[in-house]
Chain A
C-alpha cells in the first residue's frame, strides 16, 4: 500500500544540537511534499513545501528539507535546535497517481532540552 513513513517516533535533543527527521514515501508519479509542525496547544502549520525545482527547500524558523527522488525521501533538517522547537512534526505527501489526497506520516515528537 502507498504510505508515508516517519521512522523516528520520539527524538530528544539538547539545545544547539543538529536535527534530522526522516520521511520516506512509497508513491510513484509526481509528488508534492510537505512538512507541518504542531506546537503544544496550537494548530498544525506549514513549515515548508516542495513542488518542483531546487530539491533543497528552505522553510520558516531555520528549517530546510531535501527531496531525494531516487530514495523517495524528504528529510527535515535544522543545524541548531532551540527549546522552542519542541513540537510534533509531520511529513505529508500528495501524489498525482493517488488522487492528490494529502497523506500524512505518523509524526515525530521532538523534545529539546534547555
Chain B
C-alpha cells in the first residue's frame, strides 16, 4: 500500500519568508508526527497528533513553528519568518493505534528545506 508522502521534496526559500510543508499519512493511522533532521542537532521531535486529542507541541523550537492536521489525515507544518537555522530535513511519520504498535512509526521521505 501507499506509504507516507511529503511535499515538496525540496524547498529553497529566502530568509524571512513563510513556508508550508505537507504530509499525507498512511490511511487509517491515527498518530502523526513531525521531526526534523539536521547535521548539528540530529533527529528532533517537533509535534505529535493522536486522534482527536490536543497535539503534543512540546518539541516546537519557537512560536514561528505551527502545525495542523485536518480531518484526522493530512497535516501541514508551517514555519513563519524562516531563519537560516531552520534549514533541515523535515520528516513526517504516521503510526497505528494500540500499545502493541508502540514505537512503530512509518516515515516519509522528508522535505529538505534550505533557507538562504
A and B are partners in one complex rather than unrelated chains: no
